[in-house]
Structure 1
Amino acid sequence: MTDLPRDRPHLHIEGGGQSETYTSPRTVRQGLPPARARAAHAARLERAIGTALAEGRRRIAARETSIAEGEPGFYLEFDIPVAERAAVEGLENKPKAIELVAVRPPAEGDEMVTATVFVPERSADFFVKKIEAYRDEDTKKGRPKNQNLIARIEDVRLGAVRSLFTDSMELFPAGGRQTWWEVWLRDGRLATFQRVAARLSVALKEHAISFPERDVVIALADEATMARLIENSDAVAELRIAKDTPTLFQEMHPVEQADWARDLAGRVIPPSVLAPVVCLLDSGATQAHPLIAPGLDPVDQHAYDDAWGVGDSAYWNGHGTAMAGVALYGDLEAALANGGAVELGHGLETVKILPPAGQNDPDLYGAITALSIGKAEAKAPRRRRVFCMAVTSEVGLGRGRPSSWSAAVDQLCYGGGDRRRLMVLAAGNLRGDINAGEYPDRNDLEEAENPAQAWNPLVVGAYTDKITITQQDYAGWEALAPAGDLSPSSRTSGIWDRQWPIRPDVVFEGWNCAHDGVNPAVAIDDLQLLTTHYRPNRRLFQEFGDTSAASALGAHLAAGIMTARPELWPETVRGLVVHSAEWTPAMRARFEAAGSQQQKLAMLRRYGWGVPDLGRALLSASNDATLMVEDALLPFRKDGSTIKTRDMHLHQLPWPREELLALGEQDVELRVTLSYFIEPNPGERGWTRRHRYASHSLRFAVKRSLESLSAFRQRINKAALAEESGEARGSGGGDGWLLGTIRDRGSIHSDIWRGSAAALAERDAIGVFPISGWWKEKPGLQRWDRSVRYSLLISIRAPAAETDIYTAIANQIAVAVPISS
C-alpha cells in the first residue's frame, strides 16, 4: 500500500438506512424421521412412559405437605438422537403447561441428546396420548400421527436431580457431599423456591440474577436435599455447579527504576475531569503509586465488599495495579523512554471484586460483576467508561455454551436496551507448564475461559512480537512463539461448537517465553511488558503479561477512541477496534496456508481479526477511507398471533464511482464490519429455534457488480432462509470475500472483499437484515416490538493508488441518494 498519511477523521453518518418490508420464509423441517416398526416402537415407549408415570404419581403422592409449594408435577427425561436434536422443541406444550427445562449437551461421541421437561400432574397423560395416536392414527397424507416427534424418541424415563444437571457429569457432587449449586429457576418461581428452601434449611446466597425466562440463585445442598427441593416445588429448571473463585496466572519480575518513574511522573498531564475512564474490575489498585495517582482519584475507588478496602493485595500479586499501569499508559516502557510530555486522554476507576486474601465464597459472579459496575456508575452516572475485567474461571467450560456469568455480562452490555455498556474481557490463559512441542496445538485445544463466551463484550487474546533475549542467564535460549504469532499462554475458541462466537475478537501484545529445547518454557523479563508495582515504597515497576496485559491494552485503545469520538455508541467503539485490526505477517501466512473455509475458521478462532491500531481506528487517509454508519431497525412485527420478520435496511453507499472506474483493473479492498448487541436468554435447552440464546441476529450483504437491487433482495431472502433452516450457506460466501459465511458468529461480523476498482464501483449498496431469535420465537415475552441498534463500518482501500477517494465520498454524503429497483 502507498503509505499516505492518516490525517482525516472517519466519515460519520447517523441513520440513512432505507427500511423495507422484509419477511424471511418460514422454516420447514426437512427430512423424515428414521423408519421404524411402528407398533413395536410405540409399545416400547408405552412401557417406558408407563413406568415413569407410575413412579411420578407416587412421588406426587409422597410430597411433604409441610414443605411443598407450587403446582404438583414431575420431570420426564427423553433420549433423542443427536442428529435429530431439533425435535426436542416438540416436547414442549404451553397450553398443557409442559415446559422444556434442560437439554444436556452431548459429549463428544455421544449418540443421544438428553432433554428434560416438567410435566404438571394435570397433564400427566399428554405423552401417552401422543404415543397412542402415533400407534393408531394416520394423517391425511397417510403418515403416522405425531411421527416427527414420537419416531425420534429413543427412550423416556422419570427425571431426577441428574436429569437437570447440565454441566459435565464429571463435576456432579456425588457421595452425599454438600456443594454450592447454581440453580436455574422457571419463570416467576423465585419466591416459591426461596420459601421451600427455607423450610428445608437450605442456605441461599443473597443475590439472584434474572433473565427473561430464568432466575438464578446459589444454594448449598447435597444431592438428597436437592431432590427434596425439586420434588416439593415446581420451580427448578436446571442445575449447574457454582463456579469457584477465578484463578489468575501471571509471572511478575521486579524492575527497580525509581529515577525513571519520578521523571515520567513530572511529565504527565492528568486527564480532564470530563474524560472517559477505564473501570477495572480486579483486585483493587495502589492509588499512591506516583504513576497511577495522576489518573485515579481516590473517590473513584470502590469495592464489592466495603470491608475489603480498595487497595491492592499481595495475595493477588498486585494484579489490579499492574492492570492499572497498562490501562492508563499502554506501553509504559515507551512512555518512560519518551522525553516529552505524556498527556493522559482518559482516567481510571477501580472496583475490587477479589478479596484481599483467600477466596470469595461461591456466589454468582454475574451478580458480583453487576453490583460492582453499579457502584462505579452510582458515583459518576454520566461518565463514559470502558469496563475491563481480566478475571476468568476454567470451571464449567462447555465449548462456547453460555454460563450465568457470561450471560450476565451480555445483559450488562445490552443494558436493557437503553443503557449500553462497553466491556473488555480477557480470553484466559493456559495453566501449568508450557512445553515447546505443544505450541500452538495446545492453545487451540484449551478453550477461552468463563465469561469469555459472552457475545457482547470485546474479548481479547494475546499475541507477541517479543523475541529478543539479551539476559545473560538465558544465552542460547530461544523465544517460543515466532514474532507476530499467538502468545504461548493465550486461549482460543478452536474447539467451540460452530454456532458460538469467535473468541478472541482481537489480540494485543501479551508476552513470550523462552526455552532451551529440553525443559518447559519460562517467563523472562525480556519477553514481557513493563507496568506499575503495587508496593511503590519497595519497587516501582514489574513485568506483566498474558491475556491480562492484552485486555488492559484493549481497554486503553477503546478509551482512546472514546476520548477522540465521544459521540459514538459502545457498539461503534467495539466495531472500530475490530475494524482496525489486521493480521500480522505470521498470521496471514497461516490464513494463506488454510486450504478450506473450515481451516480458515480455525485460524479465525485462534487470532480473531488480528491486532488493532488506534490510528486506523480513528483516522482515514486519502486512499483509505472509512465510513461509520449508526442506525436502528425494527426486526420484527406482530401479525395476528404470530411474530414475523419486519424490516431490512438498504444503505446506498456514497461511492467514489468515477474515481474507482478511472482506476480500472487496479486491486482495491473493501472491508465491512457490523456490530450490535443482543439480549441474552440463557438456560440449557439446546438453543435451537425457539430456544435460541440471542434475542436476534443481524447479517450484512453487499450488492454484487452485475446484480440489480431486486436480485440483491432475493439473494438476502434466500440467505436468511438457509440460515434459519441450519444450512451452511449465507449471503456472503465466495465472490471475492475472504471469510464468507464463517464470519457470521456472535454479534460482530467483519470481512474483506478484494477485486478490481471497476468491479467495486458497482458494489454500491449494503443490506442489513435480521435473522430470527427468541424475540420472534417467544411472543409471550413481549419483546417483538423492540428496536435494534447497529453500527456499520465500511472502508475502501486503494493500496497502489494516490487517488483521493476520501474527498469524493465526503462530497457525496450530504446528497441524498434514492434507492430504486
Structure 2
Amino acid sequence: MPPPPSEKPFDHLPLVLTGSGDSRPRKPVVMDPNPITEGNKANRSGHASSLRTSSLAVAERWNESQAERVAAGLPSPEPGIPLLLQIDTAFDLDILRRQFSFEIVSEHDDGFVIVVSKDLDLSLIQQKFDEFEQEVYGSGSIAQIHELVNDETQEERLRRILTDQLLSEWPTLADDAEYVVDVSIACTGDWQIRNRLKRNPRWKPETWARKENDWSNDRLAAYERWDALKDSRLDDVEAMLAPYNVQVLNNWDNSDAKSVQLPDSFTLRIRTSGKGLRDFVLNYAYVWEVTEPDEIETPQQAARNLADLSAGLTFNAPSTNAPVVCIIDSGIQESHLYLEPAIRDFESKCFLEGATPTDVTDCVKPSGHGTRVAGVVLYGENVPKFGIVDLDCWIQNARVLDAHCKMPLTMLPAAVIRDVVSHFNRGKNPTRIFNHSINSAVASRTLHMSSWAAEIDQLCHDRDILVLQSVGNIRQSNPIPNPGVAEQLAAGKSYPDYLSEPASRIANPAQSLQALTVGSVAYDTVNAGGWQSLAKQGGEPSAFSRSGHGIWDTIKPEVVEYGGDYMIDGSTPPSVTYPAACASAYPILIGSTLHGEPAVTQDDVGTSYSTPKVARIAARLAAVMPTNSCLLYRALIIQSAQWPAWAESLPMHEQINILRRLGYGIPNMSRATENTQYRATFTTSSDQVLGTKQCHVFQIPIPAELRTPGGEYDIRIDVTLSYSATPRRTRRSPRGYLAVWLDWIASQCGESAGSFLNRALATEDDPVGDRNGELPWTLHPMTQHGLSGVRRNRGTVQKDWAIVKSNALPEDLSIAVRGHQGWSHDPDETASYAIAVTFEIVGQEIPIYEPLRTAVLDLQFVVEVEVEAEV
C-alpha cells in the first residue's frame, strides 16, 4: 500500500519500534584483583587489628565529644557516628548497608566514602572484624575496606565536606563572626526496597497475589520512612542550631513550597556564628556538604551611542496559542516598544525577598539585562527597524535579580528556581520553556551535583520542562583564584588554550544534566581602532565563554550560539574589553530605555545573549510540535547542531578541545524544525519509558536506490538520545546520580535484526569485539574508539554522528536504547526518553527524503499489521 501524501512538506518521519525485551544477565566481568585487597586477605589478623584499633578510637572520641556537649547543656543530635572509609573501588557500596547497617552519607574520589553507624559502640562491625580474622564464611568483604580513617581532628572528613575556601578558613573561624553557608544533610537511611519476587510456577494464584501485595506494602512503607526521616532530620538540625541563634534563611526540602523531592538529602541556607558553624559540622553526623552561597555572575553593561530608532514599526501580538518562554532574570522593561506586545504582564512576578510581587521592572543600569535577554528570544539576530512585525511567542517575566544584577544572599537559588517553575508551570497551559541566563561567578565543582543544578534536573524530570542555561562568563579581569582573561594572558596562557584551564570550567548550575547548556562563539575576526578580537575566524569560541567538560566528564556545553567576543590591544600584557569601535563583533540587543539609553544597542557580549537564541529555537519547535515533549525539543535542537567547517576538518586530537568548547556545535532552526529533499529526520512520536534491564529497538529501512554501487555520495547520519530520570545528589558518578540510566547502540553493516537484538540485550558492548561492520562514529561509547578519552554515554543527552558513503550504507539501520540500574532498586523506577535520527546527503547530489519516507511508512504498516495479528 503506497504511503499517503504528507500533510506538510518534509515533516519529521516516525521511528518504528520493531523489537523490545529484557536484557540478560551480563557475563561476570573478570577484573584484576586489587593488590591491597589481596594483601588484606593474606594478612587477616593484621588488617582486622588495624581496623579494630581505628574504629575503637573513633568511637571513643566521638562519644566523649557528645557527652561534653550534653554536659554543656547543648541539645543531643540524632545518634550516629560518622566514619570515613577507604574502600576497594570495585566494592559494592550497598554491602555497607546490608552487612554493617551503615547509612551511606556521601561518596568521594579515590574510594573514600562517609558512612554513619547508629551503633555507638560499633559492636556490629567489631564482630565482623573478628569473623574476618577467623575466616568465617561471608566475612571476606572486610578485605575491601582498606582503611577506617582514625581522624583525630576530623580534618580528613572536613576536607570532603567543606569547599576549599571554607577549609582554608576553618582553623581561623572567629567564634563571633557571622557566616552565611549552605549545608546539605543526608537522609538515605539504612534500608532499601527489596527486590521484587519472581513468580514460582508452583504457586497458586492467591499465593502469588499475597506475595505481590506484601511486596507493594513494603515498598510503600520504605518511601514513607524516607519522608519521615527527612522531616525528623530537619527538626533535629533546627534544634541543634537553636542555641546559637542561627537564622535559617532558606530551605530546600520537602516540607513546604520551597521543597524538592530528591530522595537522599535536603539543603539549608543559614546565617550563623563561627562557633555555631564549627559545633554543627563537627558534631552532626549526617552533614555531607557545606558551601558558600554562589555569587551570581552576569555580563557588565556599558552604554553606547547608536542611531535613534527608526519610525514606522507596527507590531502584531503573538497568536493566543503561541508558545510561551519564561525569562528568569533581572526583570523586564515591559513597556518597551519592542517587547510590550509579547509580554504576558498579568502573569509577571517578582521573587525577590523584601520586594512586592508586582515589582517586576528591570532596574539594571544602563540598559537592563532581562530586557536584553527577552529581546533576543523574540528577535534573534534580526531586530527590525521598520515595517510590520509578527511576533512568534509570548514572554513571561520572572524577576529574581536585583538592580545590581545580583541574587540576595538570603535567597537559595535551588529554592528560587523551584518557586519560579511552580508559579509558571501550572494550570491548563503550563509554561515549559525557561531561559536561565544566570550563573555563579566561579567554576563549578566536579565531585557532587550542586543543589541548584540538581533542582533543575528534578524539575525537568518531574514537569517536562526545558531549561536553557548559560555556561557563564570569564570576566575581562579578575584576581586569582578566579582569573579573568587579562590575567590568563599575562600568565602566558594564550587564547584559546586558557579555556581548558580548571578556572575556565562551566559555572554552576550549567553542569545540570537536564538543562540544555549553551556557550558562545564569535561572529568573526575584527580589527578596528587599535583593537583585535581574540577569535581569528567565525565560529571560534568567544574569549569569555566557559568550557567543559561538565561534571563526571559529561559533554557541556551541548551547543553554542553567537554571543560576541572580547578585544585586546597591542600593549604587553594586553588590555581586555569590548570597545565601541568593534561593535560589529557584538550581538544586536534590545536595551532598556528607563535610564536614557537607546532602545536598540550593540554594546555588550556574553553567554547571557547566546542562550536565548537557543530558547528561540525551542519556542519554534513548540509552535510546530505543540504536543511533543521537551525531551524531544532538546533532542532536535542538539541534533541540528553542527561544528563549523573549519572544526570538522581538524585532526581528531584537536577536535577533543572543540568538543569541550563548542559541544556539538551551532544549532540551526531549519534543521531542528523541518526537513528538505536532501535531509530526513526520524523521531519518536511520544516519550518512551524504559526501566532497568529493558531495551527498545527502532529500525530505519534504507531503500536500494540510495545504496546503488555507482553512487558514492557522503551521507551524514546523526543520532541523539535525550532522556531524564530521578536524580540523587550524594553520589559521585552519573550512574549513581540517576535512578535509571540509558544508552544507545547502533547495528553494524550486515548484522541481522535478530543478531542485533541479541547483542543489545547483552547489556554491555564488548570493548574488544568485532568492529568490522561498525559505522565510523565520531565519539563512540568506548573511550578507546572515536575521539580519545570521550564517551558519548556519560550524560542524559547522547549524540553521535558518522559520514558514510551511500554505496556502503546497510539495508537497515537499527538503534537500540537500553536501560541500566542506577541508584534505585525500585523495579518500577523508569527513565523517559526521546530519540532522533537524521540522514543528510552532504553534497545534495540526489534527493533522499521521499525514498526514506516511503520505506519507513511501509515498514510501519507491516509492523502495525503484525501487532494487530498478535492481538
**TM category, shorter:** 0.7 to 0.9
Q: Partner residue of 2:630?
A: 570
Deviates more, 1:483-492 or 1:93-102: 93-102
From 371, 377, 397, the equivalent of 1:321 is 371
Inter-CA distance 567–747: structure 2 relative to 1 (3 Å threshold): same
Aligned pair partner of 1:748 in 783, 791, 797: 797
Letter in 2 for 1:197: L
Q: Deviations over 1:587-613 (max 9, x none)?
A: 223xx3224xxx544321211110111
5 Å matches for 1:479-518?
480-494=535-549, 496=550, 499-518=552-571
1:466 aligns with 2:470: no
Q: Equivalent residue for 1:791?
A: 834
Q: 1:655 to 1:674 in 2, by over 3 A?
A: same
| Unaligned residue ranges in structure 2 (runs of 5+) | 1-7, 188-228, 254-259, 478-484, 782-790, 867-871
Residues 104 and 166, structure 1, Cα contact 8 Å, conserved in 2 = no
Equivalent position to 1:366, from 386, 408, 414: 414
Which residue of 1 is the match for residue 605 of structure 2?
545
Alignment of 1:224-243 (within 5 A): 224-229=275-280, 236-243=286-293
Who is 2:63 aligned against?
57
Residue 377 in 1 paired to residue 425 in 2?
yes
Task: Tell me if the contact between 1:15 and 1:631 (Cα under 8 Å) persists in the aligned partners.
Answer: no
Aligned counterparts of 2:441 and 2:758: Cα–Cα separation in 1: 45
Instruction: Pick from 95, 102, 105 the counterpart of residue 101 of structure 1.
Output: 105
Alpha-carbon contact 1:657-1:761 (below 8 Å) kept: no
User: Cα gap change, 1:634/1:307 in structure 2, threshold over 3 Å: closer, same or farther?
Assistant: closer
Per-residue CA deviations over 1:135-160 (Å, capped at 9, x if unaligned) read 331659xxx8335423x227444684
CA contact under 8 A between 1:672 and 1:750: conserved in structure 2? yes
CA contact (8 A) 1:631 1:791 kept: yes
d(CA) in 2 for partners of 1:602 and 1:280?
31
Letter paired with 2:84: E
* Aligned position for 1:4: none
Provide the aligned C-alpha RMSD in A: 3.2
Secondary structure at the aligned position of 2:241 is classed as helix
What pairs up with 1:63-462 in 2 under 5 angstroms?
A: 63-64=69-70, 68=75, 71-80=78-87, 84-87=88-91, 89=93, 92-94=96-98, 96-105=100-109, 113-121=111-119, 124-137=122-135, 145-150=140-145, 152-153=146-147, 155-157=149-151, 160=154, 163=157, 165-172=160-167, 173-174=169-170, 175-177=172-174, 178-187=178-187, 188=229, 189-198=233-242, 200-209=244-253, 210=260, 211-222=262-273, 224-229=275-280, 236-260=286-310, 262-263=311-312, 266-305=313-352, 306-307=355-356, 309-314=359-364, 318-333=368-383, 335-336=384-385, 340-357=387-404, 359-378=407-426, 381-395=428-442, 397-399=444-446, 401-415=448-462, 419-433=463-477, 434-435=485-486, 438-445=494-501, 446-462=504-520
* 8 Å contact kept, 2:469–2:516: yes
Counterpart in 2 of 1:108? Answer: none
CA contact 1:392–1:450 (8 Å) conserved in 2: yes
Supply the AA of the counterpart residue of 1:176: L
Alpha-carbon contact 1:655-1:764 (below 8 Å) kept:
yes
Superposed displacement of residue 522, structure 1: 2.2
Q: What's the offset of the Cα at 1:395?
A: 4.8
Secondary structure of the 2:743 match is strand
How far off its partner does 1:14 sit?
7.5
Question: C-alpha offsets along residues 34-74 of structure 1, whole Å, 9 cap, x if unaligned?
Answer: 24361333333332222112212323444528654564221
Which region of structure 1 is more displaced relative to structure 2, 805-814 or 295-304? 805-814
The correspondence of residues 585-624 of structure 1 with structure 2, limited to 5 A, is 585-589=645-649, 592-595=650-653, 600-624=655-679
Q: Which amino acid aligns with 1:163?
A: R
Number of residue equivalences: 759
Change (3 A) 1:257 1:317: closer
Q: Please tell me whether the aligned partners of residues 68 and 232 of structure 1 are also in contact (alpha carbons under 8 angstroms).
A: no
Which secondary structure does the structure 2 equivalent of 1:765 belong to?
Answer: strand
Q: Which amino acid aligns with 2:578?
A: A
Is 1:686 the counterpart of 2:732? The answer is yes
Distance in structure 2 (CA, Å) of the matches to 1:9 and 1:43: 72
Q: Which of 532, 537, 547 is 2:590 aligned to?
A: 532
Q: Mean alpha-carbon deviation: is it higher for 707-716 or for 222-231?
A: 222-231
**Counterpart-to-counterpart distance in 2, 1:55 and 1:25:** 45
Q: Cα offset for 1:719?
A: 5.8
1:454 positional shift: 0.3
1:763–1:324 CA distance, 2 compared to 1 (3 A): same
Distance 1:51 1:271 in 2: 70
The letter of the residue matching 2:373 is M
Q: CA deviation at 1:549?
A: 0.6
Change (3 A) 1:728 1:567: farther
CA distance in 1, matches of 2:700, 2:452: 40
Q: 2: CA distance between counterparts of 1:342 and 1:328?
A: 11
Distance 2:407 2:844 in 1: 58
Shift of 1:730: 12
Alpha-carbon contact 1:100-1:115 (below 8 Å) kept: yes
Matched residue type, 1:77: L
Matched, 1:771 2:820: yes
Q: For 1:171 and 1:732, locate their aligned partners in 2 and report how far apart those are by CA, in whole Å.
A: 53
Q: Residue deviations 1:730-752, cap 9 Å, x none? A: 99996411111222221111111
Aligned counterpart, 1:109: none
Q: Offset of 1:548 from its aligned partner? A: 0.6
Q: Which amino acid aligns with 1:556?
A: R
CA distance in 1, matches of 2:70, 2:250: 26
Would the aligned equivalents of 1:575 and 1:793 in 2 still touch at CA under 8 Å? yes
Native 8 Å contact 2:734 2:794 kept in 1: no
Q: Which residue of structure 2 lines up, in the alignment, with residue 639 of structure 1?
A: none
2:778 alignment partner in structure 1: 738
Counterpart code for 1:128? Q
Deviations 1:184-230 (A, max 9, x none): 22322223323333355322124323311112112233454245446
* C-alpha distance in 1 between matches for 2:11 and 2:774: 28
The one-letter code of the counterpart of 1:402 is M
1:205 alignment partner, SS class: strand
Could you tell me which residue of structure 1 aligns to residue 197 of structure 2? none
Task: Tell me if the contact between 1:255 and 1:541 (Cα under 8 Å) persists in the aligned partners.
Answer: no
Partners of 2:466 and 2:515 within 8 A in 1: yes
Q: 1:480 to 1:605 in 2, by over 3 A?
A: closer
CA distance in 2, matches of 1:576, 1:469: 36
Shift in CA distance, 501/817, structure 1 to aligned 2, threshold 3 Å: farther
Deviation of 1:267 (Å): 3.4
Q: Quote the residue 1:811 is aligned against.
A: 854
Query: Whole-Å Cα distance in 1 between the matches of residues 95 and 279 of structure 2?
Result: 25
C-alpha distance in structure 1 between counterparts of 2:527 and 2:60, whole Å: 72
Summarize deviations over 1:607-658 as a string: whole Å, max 9, x none: 111011111111211121111214555543xxxxxxxx34211112243344
Give the drift of 1:289.
Answer: 1.3
Letter in 2 for 1:99: E
Q: Which moved more, 1:609-618 or 1:292-301?
A: 292-301
Residue 98 of structure 1 and its aligned partner are, at CA, apart by 1.2
Distance 2:303 2:365 in 1: 16
Q: Is the 8 A contact 2:717 2:839 kept in 1?
A: yes
Contact 2:452–2:508 under 8 Å retained in 1:
yes
Deviation at 1:456, TM superposition (A): 0.6
